[in-house]
Amino acid sequence: MKGSSKKTIISKKAVVAFILSALIGTSVPFGANAASNCDQKIKIIGAQKCIKSDKLKDTKIAVFSDPHYFAPELGTTGNAFEAYLAQDRKLIAESSAISKSAIGELKKSDAKIVLISGDLTKDGEKLSHQQFSKLLKELEKSGKKVYVIPGNHDINNPESNSYSGDKATPVENISPDQFKKIYNDFGFSEAISRDKSSLSYVVEPAPGLRIIAMDSALYKENVGKTSPVIAGGFSDETLKWIKQQIKEAKAKGKTVVGLMHHGLLEHFTGEKQYFSDFVIENWEKVSEEFADLGMEAVFTGHFHAQDIASKTSAAGNKIYDIETGSLVSYPSPYRIVDIAKDKITVESKNIKNINYDTKGLPYQDYAYNYLKTGLKEVLPLMITSLIMKSNPSLTQEQAYMLAKQAADTQPAPSITSMTVCDLLGDAMIQHYKGDEETNPLATVITQGMLNSQDPMTKSLGFLLNSAYTDPSEKDNNTTLYFNK
Distance CA 92, CA 87 (A): 12
CB burial class (10 A; 0-12, 13-18, 19+) of residue 20?
middle
Query: Are both 65 and 44 inside the same structural domain?
Result: no
Query: Are both 67 and 195 inside the same structural domain?
Result: yes
pLDDT of residue 16: 35
Query: Are both 273 and 342 inside the same structural domain?
Result: yes
Query: Are both 254 and 299 inside the same structural domain?
Result: yes
DSSP reduced 3-state for 164: strand
Query: Are both 125 and 191 inside the same structural domain?
Result: yes
Query: Are both 34 and 81 inside the same structural domain?
Result: no
Q: What is the mean pLDDT of residues 276-284?
A: 96
More confident: 172 or 27: 172
Number of domains into which the chain is organized: 3
CB burial class (10 A; 0-12, 13-18, 19+) of residue 442?
buried
Residue 314, CB-side half-sphere exposure with 13 Å CA sphere: 4
Q: What is the mean pLDDT of residues 420-445?
A: 91
How far CA 101 is from CA of 333, 335, 353, in Å, comes to 12, 14, 7
Query: Are both 324 and 340 inside the same structural domain?
Result: yes
More confident: 58 or 358: 358
Query: Are both 216 and 136 inside the same structural domain?
Result: yes
The CATH number given to whatever domain includes residue 287 is 3.60.21.10
Q: What is the mean pLDDT of residues 348-362?
A: 98
More confident: 471 or 174: 174
**pLDDT confidence bin for 54, thresholds 50/70/90:** low
105: left (phi over 0), alpha (psi -120 to 50) or beta: alpha
pLDDT of residue 259: 98
Over 50: is that where the pLDDT of 111 sits? yes
Over 70: is that where the pLDDT of 32 sits? no
Within 8 A by CB and 6+ apart from 402, the residues are 384, 387, 394, 456
For the beta carbon of residue 447, count every other beta carbon within 10 angstroms.
12
Query: Are both 346 and 442 inside the same structural domain?
Result: no
pLDDT in tens, 218-253: 999 999 999 999 999 999 999 999 999 999 999 999
Query: Are both 166 and 292 inside the same structural domain?
Result: yes
C-beta of residue 54 within 8 angstroms of C-beta of residue 207:
yes
Query: Are both 349 and 382 inside the same structural domain?
Result: no
For the beta carbon of residue 7, count every other beta carbon within 10 angstroms.
10
Query: Are both 212 and 346 inside the same structural domain?
Result: yes
Backbone angles phi, psi at 166, to 5 degrees: -90, 5
Distance CA 460, CA 466 (A): 10
Domain boundaries, position 34: 2-51
Distance CA 375, CA 429 (A): 9
pLDDT of residue 8: 38
What rounded mean pLDDT belongs to the chain?
89
Find the Cα–Cα–Cα–Cα dihedral 85, 90, 91, 97, rounded to 10°: -130
Over 70: is that where the pLDDT of 21 sits? no
Residue 404, CB-side half-sphere exposure with 13 Å CA sphere: 7
Point out the least confidently predicted range of 25-39, 43-57, 303-317. Answer: 25-39
Point out the least confidently predicted range of 66-80, 189-203, 316-330, 409-423. Answer: 409-423
pLDDT of residue 18: 35
Over 70: is that where the pLDDT of 53 sits? no
